[in-house]
Amino acid sequence: MNIYIGSDHAAFDEKAAVIEHLSKLSLKDLGTFSKESCHYPDFAKKVSKAVQDDKDSFGILLCGSGIGVSMVANRFKDIRAARCLSVEDASLSRQHNNSNVLCLAARMNSLDEIKKIIDIWLKTDFEGGRHLTRVDLFNELGC
């Protein structure tokens, strides 16, 4: 399983720490590669397209609030991006919504919280069943 990761300048340090934290996994860094000001939609697009093309993969996006990257990512067919501020958010986004892109807020969560959110998100499986029927409706909504 591949994991694609991207961030803007506001979350550059957190992304570097996450990459180190997940060093034993197949992680592909899609940028940004410096703290120089950049545009978060560029990196949200890269990660979303990579997850779209690699069906069994996951994506992790970070920006200051997690909101902007989640808004961009959710514009892509078959992407179910979830902005998660807690381990409960992360767990439910996988169990009930089969999220495949995790969006994190560098300015809202500590690095320890971000790592815990990621760990729970990666460990949690989709429950399927009644949730699958609902998730299948996502792409029928004109997305």
State pLDDT tens for residues 126-143: 998 889 988 988 877 654
In single-letter form, the type of residue at position 58 comes to F
Task: Report pLDDT for 142.
Answer: 59
Closest to 73 measured CA to CA, from 96, 41, 104, 97? 41
Task: Report pLDDT for 137.
Answer: 86
Q: Say how far apart CA 82 and CA 73 lie, in whole Å.
A: 9
Domains of the chain: which residue ranges?
Answer: 2-141
Q: Which residues of the chain register pLDDT less than 50? A: 143
What pTM was computed for the model? Answer: 0.96
Q: Span 2-141: which CATH code?
A: 3.40.1400.10
- H/E stretch holding 104 reads strand 101-105
Q: Is 98 left (phi over 0), alpha (psi -120 to 50) or beta?
A: left
Task: Report pLDDT for 141.
Answer: 65
Residues annotated as catalytic are 63, 96
- H/E stretch holding 5 reads strand 2-7
